[in-house]
Chains A and B, each alone.
Chain A
Amino acid sequence: MQQSNLYIVIFSTVLTIVLGGLLALAAVALRPEQKKQEDMFRKKSILSSVMTVEKGSDILQIYGDKIKSYVVDYDGNEVKELEGKPIVAENVPINKEFKKSPEERLYPVFEMTDGSGGVEAYILPIYGNGLWDKIYGYLALDKDCNTIKGVVFDHIGETPGLGARITEKEFQARFKGKTINNDNGQVIGVTVLKGESTNPTDPHQVDGLSGATITAKGVESMILSYMEHYQGFLRKVKSSDLSYVNQ
């Protein structure tokens, strides 16, 4: 059966409107739930860089109790508002900030309190390039601003079983206890080695991922660059020049 051009145009238009309408409806209806899940996931990542989050525990409750967050700039000064609007550290889009030059970015800091007014860890977001797409995560620094207390990594499109293994606890645990500064106080980060069974004792080296060298190098450079960018803030912490931290 051969239909006229008019019929085809009308049919296509109606189909497009119906399908588009349905999808728009679904997107709008599901948006709040997705936002909640994303927010929950973000907070869970932040927490799990320093602690084991049990399944079924009230993430929002723990987060509210333990985490104090604020935003700093490249020089380590706190940024309270942007263009008249107050900034919420959890809502700073790291991916968009990544496109700006390092000096212009906003740097959120999630401070883990030890329950008696002191600081247990500074949890800093990190972001960089993997093999196929972006990789990101959180790195928790001890209050000495040098020792890594824990890391979490995540990715958008790394190869399952290879690069995607950066999300595994076993890989992330390798970073625990490593340090980011050398003896002279320079930031040198953590080198991800090639091969997987060397078990390096060097505080600046961890075992790599077989078959995922580029993702592993991405992790390495992401940690190094962000630790450099946070130096403004970390130096201020070290010299206790952070009037707002202890407020």
Chain B
Amino acid sequence: MSEVAENIKTTETVAVQPKKPAEPLLSKRRKRLMSDPLDEDNPITVQVLGICSALAVTTQMKPTLVMAIAVIFVIVFANLIISVLRNLIPNRVRIIVQLSVIASLVVLVDQVLKAYFFDVSKLLSVFVGLIITNCIVMGRLEAFAMGNKPYDSILDGLGSGLGYSWIILAVAFFRELFGSGAVFGFPVFESLGLAYENNGLMVNSIGAFLIIGLIIWAQRWRNGYVEHN
């Protein structure tokens, strides 16, 4: 139990009062926690998680950005909370415990959006609620936060959240640009004086599939990734 107590105590002081020589706040290992999900271990393009919301919310940049921020918030705090509680959580009910923590955070985000960003919350409608079922969040809790210290878990959550975010923002950029001829609602082609016929395919989910496919292709080509059988 002493180990348990120590782990709880170290929530905020992990880097300040170590017994061993301190691991730097951003050591190489920790940097990798952050950077891996951005590229080589990206939740969407490599782990192929969270595809559903990547297809659904990415028609425009603005709601996508809010979605990205919401997911980062949920994943970071869920990781932190589960990591702090990890030695107290009964193994047999751990999944439902993770789920209730995620669900609470998501409901909180939804309530705050409704109170202060009413327009955006209308745009995102059900998709905020569906963060609960975003496999990335639960995947990180089960795979990382259950077995690692709080500070590392925050970094891991941040990495995965950002990895998810940059992909959906990239997809939204191309979908809004080619589907509505705009970026963040700003009519790009119109202000450049170009005549552009909006591409309805990009507004459909099919457009998102194509763009995600192209991103995955480009990324695998660059990293020389091959499927292992």
Contacts and interface: CB of A to CB of B under 8 A. Distances in A.
Interface of A: 1-3, 7-8, 11-12, 15-16, 19, 22-23, 26-27, 30, 33-34, 37-38, 40-41, 154, 156-157, 160-162, 210-211
Interface stretch (B10-18, B34-42, B109-117): B109-117
Contacts, number: 70
A15 B100 contact: yes
A30 B115 contact: yes
A155 to B, nearest CB: 8
B92 A8 contact: yes
Contact of B107 (A23, A160, A210): A23
Given A8-B93, A161-B59, A19 B114 contact: no
B100 A19 contact: yes
Contact of A16 (B56, B100, B108, B203): B100
B179 interface: yes
A213 to B, nearest CB: 14
A175 B60 CA distance: 26
B101 interface: yes
Given A11-B89, A160-B57, 17 more contacts: A2-B92, A11-B97, A12-B93, A12-B96, A19-B101, A23-B107, A26-B107, A27-B111, A30-B114, A30-B115, A33-B115, A33-B116, A41-B122, A160-B123, A161-B59, A161-B203, A210-B200
A16 B93 CA distance: 13
Contacts of B108: 22-23, 26
A26 B200 contact: no
A34 B121 CA distance: 11
Given A11-B88, A160-B59, A37 B101 contact: no
Contacts of B100: 15-16, 19
26 contacts: A3-B90, A7-B90, A8-B90, A11-B93, A12-B93, A12-B97, A19-B101, A19-B104, A23-B108, A26-B107, A26-B111, A27-B111, A30-B114, A33-B115, A34-B114, A37-B114, A37-B115, A37-B118, A38-B118, A41-B118, A160-B57, A160-B60, A160-B123, A161-B59, A162-B203, A210-B200
